[in-house]
């Protein structure tokens, strides 16, 4: 799985705290990661409609929907692509003993089992929202953690 997923998730969680747009460079400095590369992940989130960008002097990124309506699955699909991890190449239809196409009305059993497992994975991701993550962060690091991040994001970097 792409490592950018972690960055994107953290960005979504901190964007929960601030209602004003936050520049990508500020998010990168907060997480101590490459700003140029984080921009790519944020662009992917913007293409998926999860966040929207505002240009100009006081522009940046902000969440499009409410945090309760953004699931982890949405973020993973936006960054890593919606395609399944396991792709069936239909090797049962190849080779000297290839199954005739008429016998392949259903997906092959291997593809079915792998797809079922990925379905469970996606269901688990879809059941958790960005709001849930923000709540857990508050429970772990204290209720003042996210407001503090928000103040730093909108304030000066020297503070």
Partner DNA sequence: CTATACTCGGACATGATGAATCCGAGTATC
Partner DNA sequence: GATACTCGGATTCATCATGTCCGAGTATAG
Q: Which residues lie near a copy of itself (CB under 8 A)? A: 1, 3, 5-7, 9-10, 13, 29-33, 72, 85-89, 91-92, 94-97, 99, 103, 106, 108-110, 112-114, 116-121, 123-125, 128, 132-133, 136-137, 140-141, 145, 148-149, 152, 157
For 16-53, the DSSP string reads HH-SS-B-HHHHHHHHTS-HHHHHHHHHHHHHTTSEEE
Size of the site for DNA (CB under 7 A): 27
Q: Which of 8, 14, 24, 137 binds DNA (CB under 7 A)?
A: 24
97 binds, among a copy of itself, DNA, none (CB under 5 to 8 A by kind): a copy of itself
C-alpha span between 4 and 39 (Å, rounded): 10
C-alpha span between 27 and 41 (Å, rounded): 12
Buried b / exposed e along 30-65 (16+ C-beta atoms within 10 A):
beebeeeebbebbebbeeeebbeeeeeeeebbebee
Side-chain half-sphere CA neighbours of 27 within 13 A? 28
Residue corresponding to tokens 């929907």: 65
* Residues in region 88-117 near DNA by CB under 7 A: none
The least CB distance from residue 56 to a copy of itself, in Å, is 25
Q: How far is CA 19 from the centre of its chain?
A: 19
- Residue with smaller CB distance to DNA, 57 or 106: 57
121 binds, among a copy of itself, DNA, none (CB under 5 to 8 A by kind): a copy of itself
Residues interacting with DNA, by CB under 7 A?
A: 2-4, 23-26, 34, 36-37, 39-40, 42-43, 46-47, 53-61, 80-81
């Amino acid at each position: 799985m792409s490592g950018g997923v972690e960055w994107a998730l953290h960005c979504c969680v901190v964007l929960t705290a601030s209602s004003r747009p936050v520049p990508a460079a500020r998010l990168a400095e907060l997480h101590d990661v490459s700003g140029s590369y984080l921009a790519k992940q944020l662009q992917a989130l913007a293409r998926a409609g999860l966040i929207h960008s505002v240009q100009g002097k006081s522009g940046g990124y902000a969440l499009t929907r409410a945090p309760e309506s953004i699931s982890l699955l949405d973020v993973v699909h936006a960054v890593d692509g919606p395609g399944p991890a396991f792709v069936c190449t239909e090797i049962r239809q190849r080779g000297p003993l290839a199954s005739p196409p008429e016998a392949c009305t259903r997906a092959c059993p291997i593809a079915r089992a792998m797809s079922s497992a990925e379905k469970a994975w996606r269901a688990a991701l879809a059941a958790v929202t960005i709001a849930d993550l923000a709540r857990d962060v508050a429970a772990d690091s204290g209720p003042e953690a996210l407001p503090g991040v928000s103040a730093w994001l909108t304030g000066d970097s020297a503070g």
